[in-house]
Amino acid sequence: MIGTDPNLGREVVSAEVLRNRIAELGAAITSDYEGRAPLLVGVLKGAFMFMSDLSRAINLPVEFDFMAVSSYGSATRTSGVVRIIKDLDIDLTDRHVIVVEDIVDSGLTLNYLRRNLMARGPASLEVCALLLRDGLQKTDTDLKYIGFTIPPAFVVGYGLDVGERYRNLNAIVEYVGAE
């Protein structure tokens, strides 16, 4: 599909490199949270594949919950306005929370999300982002776990989309089509 779709450009992160790095992140989280059961909070929809694979790479009991936030709509650029579309079902009080993000661009959505979640009284709150888009941050992102730092191109695949398309690609690929 990648080679035949004119909207898709170069492969940024291959499926094999993704698998290897997620195993490393899982091992780091396992070590850092030894004796604790972290709550993974997946940011939908983009992080669902990453969170699934990451959770299997963590050798600890983990729990899951999901949030859906939006600052993009169907565009390839953030609107800057963050909306919570689906909130958590689990109380965060005294929990060790790891927010699992697909990609961090400006950091504004993540900053909003972090403030919102910290107000709920977790014992700890860290972020595991699959991708950090280099040079676009407008705020300190303070990410404990980063899969990859990538150039500022718009990417799709492995859960990331444009207009709900391309989430099923097993690699991260540059999107070169029109918005």
The values of phi and psi at residue 108, to 5°, are -65, -45
Distance CA 147, CA 52 (A): 15
User: Tokens for 161?
Assistant: 């989309």
Helices (H), 64-178: 108-118
- 32 catalytic? Reply is no
| Cβ proximity of 160 and 46 under 8 Å | yes
Q: For residue 144, is the peptide bond before it cis, meaning its omega torsion is within 30 degrees of 0?
A: no
Q: Among the options 91, 105, 134, 142, which is catalytic?
A: 105
Kindly list the catalytic residues: 105
